[in-house]
Chains A and B, each alone.
Chain A
Amino acid sequence: MKKAKASPSHPLDALVRTERIPHIWCPGCGIGTAFSACLMALHTSGLDLDKTVMVSGIGCSGRAAGYTRLDSYHTTHGRAIPFATGMKLAKPELQVIVFSGDGDLFAIGGNHIIHAARRNIDLTVLCVNNLNYGMTGGQVAATTPTLAKTTTTPRGNPEQPFNLPLLVYAAGATYVARWTILHTRDLTQSVQEALHHKGFAFIEVLAPCPTGYGRRNKERPLDTLKLYQERTLIKNGANPAEAFLDFERGVVLGKFVEEQRPTCIEMYDRTCRLPDSAAG
């Protein structure tokens, strides 16, 4: 058996703007894995990729829109969901995927995501949660665990982080899941389910940020992955209230919620558009 020399065709190359690869994400950054899981789910989902749009906000994960060879949209900070909502309302036949980070979706754009979940707009939202603001230098974010050190909390974070699955579930999301980049197969399958789910689907992906977060908390990328391996528990159907992010107590992963509720467009058509017979 021989080791072949560099061959130019990775199975996902058809979905990637290869001229921009290697991407800017740091060595050990989990966004790349979440990104390739998302692409793999798209690749195998059987969806019409000409009618698929990827929308990203600002931040490290916001770069994903620029790396896909799909129609994609790199929007202003925190506003990925509003752009995606507009796109979905204008062209309901599009499959819209929002791929963005925790800071963009839950801090700067926090209001938008709760209202999109409340309206049950038919979007698939992938939130890469790296527990800090990575691109700007590792500042404390709304998802930083209590007592974790960041650039702006050198003695440890005094605040409590958001529980993202609980937040979106309480706001009205109809598909809620959480995985880590180590659970890549489950993540890919979950993205596929979310793509075929009607309504607001939310998947949180825990990803290491070795440069911003890991360096200040004495976690090498492989240590973080080891943490994902040893301190997580897969519990499908768990109550999102149990899904508090605390690696001391163990982190619950899995598909928490999958239910059906009329989507925003269906409700709008039902209540605000008169049937043609009544109009005529």
Chain B
Amino acid sequence: MKFWRTPLDLQDIHVSKGMVLILEDRCKGCGYCIAFCPRDVLHESTRFNAKGYHPPEVKNPDACVNCHYCEIICPDLAIFSVEIPPHPVNAGPSEDNGSTGS
């Protein structure tokens, strides 16, 4: 993430990370999730689902911050995101020793 000034409490800020899950056969290809994703995580895939629509595809998984907007704008209950617990190995200087093993 780009900051014009590094926040003083940057170490304490925890940016949540999410993983987008797509139930492809429910999708009707309206494109709302793609157009309104604030982090530009999705794009339209070239393959077809069972109904002949192009479901969205995750093109930029690392950008997802688990805001759930795709989930709540989707008219077809076809997409949702779940939070990925932070990995203590990647988080360098953070003191929290990962409580969740999974």
Residues of A whose CB lies within 8 Å of any CB of B are 1, 3-4, 6-8, 10-13, 16, 21-23, 25-33, 35-37, 40, 181-182, 184-185, 188, 221-222, 225
Contact = CB atoms under 8 A, between A and B. Distances in A.
A22 B51 contact: yes
B24 A6 contact: yes
Contacts of A11: 71, 80
Given A3-B61, A27-B30, A225-B32, A22 B73 contact: no
Interface in B57-81: 57-58, 61-62, 69, 71-78, 80
Given A6-B22, A7-B23, A221-B30, A33 B71 contact: no
B73 A33 contact: yes
Contact of B25 (A6, A37, A184, A222): A6
Given A7-B21, A221-B30, A23 B36 contact: no
B29 A27 contact: yes
B86 interface: no
Contacts of B57: 3
Interface in B19-46: 19-26, 28-32, 35-36
A22 B28 contact: yes
Question: By CB atoms of chain A within 10 A, which of B19, B21, B32 has the most?
Answer: B32
Contacts, number: 87
Q: Which of A23, A30, A32 has the most CB of B within 10 A?
A: A32
A1 B76 contact: no
Nearest to B59: A3
Given A6-B25, A22-B51, A12 B32 contact: no
Contacts of A188: 72
Interface of B: 19-26, 28-32, 35-36, 51, 53, 57-58, 61-62, 69, 71-78, 80, 84
Given A6-B25, A225-B35, A36 B74 contact: yes
Nearest to B62: A1
Interface of B: prevailing SS: mixed
A224 to B, nearest CB: 11
A45 B24 CA distance: 29
Contacts of B36: 182, 225
A21 B75 contact: no
Nearest 8 interchain pairs by C-beta: A32-B75, A27-B28, A28-B30, A184-B72, A1-B61, A33-B75, A27-B30, A22-B26
29 contacts: A3-B20, A3-B61, A4-B21, A6-B21, A6-B24, A6-B25, A10-B77, A10-B78, A12-B77, A21-B26, A22-B26, A22-B28, A22-B51, A22-B76, A23-B76, A25-B75, A26-B28, A27-B28, A27-B29, A29-B75, A36-B72, A36-B77, A182-B36, A184-B69, A185-B72, A188-B72, A221-B31, A222-B31, A222-B35
A69 to B, nearest CB: 12
Contact of A28 (B25, B71, B72, B75): B75
Contacts of B77: 10, 12-13, 16, 21, 32, 36
A40 B68 CA distance: 12
Contacts of B80: 10-11
Nearest to B84: A1
Nearest to A40: B72
Contact of B72 (A13, A25, A33): A33
A222 B53 CA distance: 17
A184 B58 CA distance: 22
